[in-house]
Amino acid sequence: MTTTTHRTPADTMTAYFDAWRRRDAGSLYDVLADDVVFDGPMGHVEGLEDNVASLRGLFGIVTGVTIRQVFVDGPEVATIYDLHTTEAEPISTVNWSTVENGRVTRIRAVFDPRPLTG
C-alpha cells in the first residue's frame, strides 16, 4: 500500500518522468497510487501493478522524454512533452494527470498513435 507524501503535484510528476528517463520501474511505486488509472489512445490500465508493468513494457522502446511545458492547477498537472522512441520520430504528447497526497491517481494521455501502429 502506498503512503502519503508531501510532494507537490509538480514534484510528483517530475519524479514520474525522471523514472521514465532512467527506465526505473521501481521508482514508479513511489509516485503512483495503488488505484491509479491510465487512459490513452492505445489503452486503459487500472491499478498500480498493471500500470508499472505497462510502463516497464514502454521502456523497451522509449529513448527519451523532452518536457516542453508543465501547467499546474491544484491537483491537476498537464505535461506537454516529446516522446522519443525507437519506433518513430518524436511524438508530441500531453499527459493530464491528477495527483493526490503526492501520488498520481489518474493519467490521461493524448497523442497521435499512428506512428507507433502503422
Kindly list the domain boundaries of the chain, sorted by start residue: 9-113
Query: Is CATH 3.40.640.10 the classification given to domain 9-113?
Result: no
pLDDT at residue number 8: 97
Cell 518536457, residue located = 67
Residue range 53-89, pLDDT digits in tens: 999 998 989 999 999 999 999 999 999 999 999 999 9
Residue 116 has pLDDT above 90, yes or no: no
pLDDT at residue number 81: 97
pLDDT at residue number 5: 63
User: In 3D, which of 44, 47, 25 has the Cα closest to residue 105?
Assistant: 47
Arithmetic mean of pLDDT, 11-24: 94
User: In 3D, which of 17, 11, 33, 10 has the Cα closest to residue 93?
Assistant: 17
CB 83 within 8 Å of CB 62: yes
pLDDT more than 70, % of the chain: 96
Non-local CB neighbours of 42 within 8 Å, separated by 6+ positions: 113, 116, 117
Instruction: Calculate the average pLDDT of the chain.
Output: 93
pLDDT at residue number 2: 47
